[in-house]
Amino acid sequence: MLIQATKKLRDELNLEEFEQKERPALFSWHANFLRINRRKTVVLVNDACDYTVILYGVKKDDLNHFPDRVKEGIKRSFEREGIKGSLIEKYLSQFEDFFYQKAKNRSHIARMNNSCKEAKRFADRFNENEIYQPQVAKNINNMLRKNDNKDYFYPDKSLQQELAEYYGEKDVIETKAAVLKVELELGKYEAWRKVIVPLSYTFRELHNVLQKLYNWQDYHLHEFFVYSEEKDDTKNWNHGEYHRNGYKAILNLTINQDNLEYNKYELNYQDEDFELAVENEVKLKDVLPARIKYIYDYGDNWQHYLETEKIIEDYKSNQPTFLEGDGTAPPEDVGGVGGFDEFMQIISNPEHEDYESMLEWAKNQRFKEYDPEEIKTKLERHF
């Protein structure tokens, strides 16, 4: 494996001798040293496909064992993509021949610098407790890039193509996934969706999926609750952890550490019998097939109940797949279940005095009738 290091990284690693050997682009990486959130960070970008790997909070011991850290970082990022285990093993075998060179290709350096800028942009999404940051890297690898021929591509898709061509395998993705049925509580109305989601997804990504399923615009705060099979009759509907079927909460997942601290001390969740965590640090495979509740917009208080219908052992994709659903979702800021009821009564009656103004307001809120094809398209584009 070839690491082409910038001067900053060479200084950190105390590199002085370099081997003038060549490796295929798929096994060559440009690497830079920088600081994100005041912590030492290494960003590696693959020469063949611009695929990014990130090491964060790097310490002296990590630099002393740099090849091992790079190997593990690549392994975790590939696993996060759902790359087949057998292919990951083959790829990592290249670390038996690990060497450094100076970074000097201007085109690759420019592309590496672009990944460094994007990493800084996602500074608030880093897991402060981990050196390996596959989730942040995934966000970068899912962004559209332009190569030297001015053709557009996605680094994660390009990686899959490179691996398939090099190893002669048609399917490079193999992961577990869950078929989830989601029901949004709407009183006398209903809006349910069924979707396949990889178990490697974090709850942050599940949030993004749910936003697309219901045409939410991500204007408001949200949180998750995970439940056990045990019942708890001490909670009622005005408790955040309440489940409509009386199940007991075992985990509360928040957007970030600040929200976690608020829930813990201001809402006194520290006294409750469930754990608290940040959503980008917990994966679906850690909790499913447990029941889940997703709360979006604490004002309108939209409550989505998720049930696992099936676990797929050999899912051939690392993206969500919309299966089916029914029912139109509310527009943003409509005023909760009661407001949605009034909204539906008005827009279903052209004779109503507020009909035209309500339609105009709904348009400004990006309200749309249920459209399964549009949901499919949104998921394909976003993930």
Same domain flag for 136 and 268: no
| End-to-end CA gap in the chain | 29
- Each residue's pLDDT tens digit, 359-383: 999 999 999 999 999 999 999 887 7
Contact 309, 179 (CB under 8 A): yes
Please determine, for residue 285, whether its predicted confidence score (pLDDT) is greater than 90.
Answer: yes
Regarding whether 354 and 322 lie in a shared domain, the answer is: yes
Confidence band of 354 (pLDDT split at 50, 70, 90): very high
What is the CATH number for 180?
3.10.290.30
Number of domains in the chain: 2
Quick: pLDDT tens for 16-37: 888 888 999 999 999 999 999 9
In the prediction, which pLDDT does 132 show?
Answer: 97
Query: Alpha carbon of 290 to those of 205, 252, 287, 308: distances in Å?
Result: 17, 13, 6, 7
103 and 249 share a domain? Answer: no
Give the residues across from 28 on adjacent strands.
2
- For CA atoms 274, 280, 283, 284, the dihedral sign is positive
Band of residue 236 on the pLDDT scale cut at 50, 70, 90:
confident
- What does pLDDT average to over the chain? 95
| 35 within 8 A of 54, measured Cβ to Cβ | no
Taking residues 284-295, what's their average pLDDT? 98
The Cα angle at residue 294 between residues 289 and 295, in degrees rounded to 5: 160
Q: Is pLDDT at 150 greater than 90 in this prediction? A: no
Does residue 301 surpass a pLDDT of 90?
Answer: yes
pTM: 0.82
Q: Are residues 264 and 211 located together in one domain of the fold?
A: yes
Write out the H or E segment, with its range, that includes residue 146: strand 145-146
Residue 11 has pLDDT above 80, yes or no: yes
Q: What is the pLDDT of residue 382?
A: 78
What is the pLDDT, as a whole number, of residue 307? Answer: 98
pLDDT of residue 210: 99
Do 14 and 143 fall within a single domain?
yes
Could you tell me which residues are beta bridge partners of residue 43? Answer: 32, 54
Q: What pLDDT sits at residue 17?
A: 85
Q: What is the DSSP letter of 27?
A: G
Q: Are 23 and 118 contained in the same domain?
A: yes
Q: In the prediction, which pLDDT does 147 show?
A: 85
Query: What is the tens place of the pLDDT at every residue in 95-104?
Result: 999 999 999 9
Q: Are residues 376 and 269 both part of a single domain?
A: yes
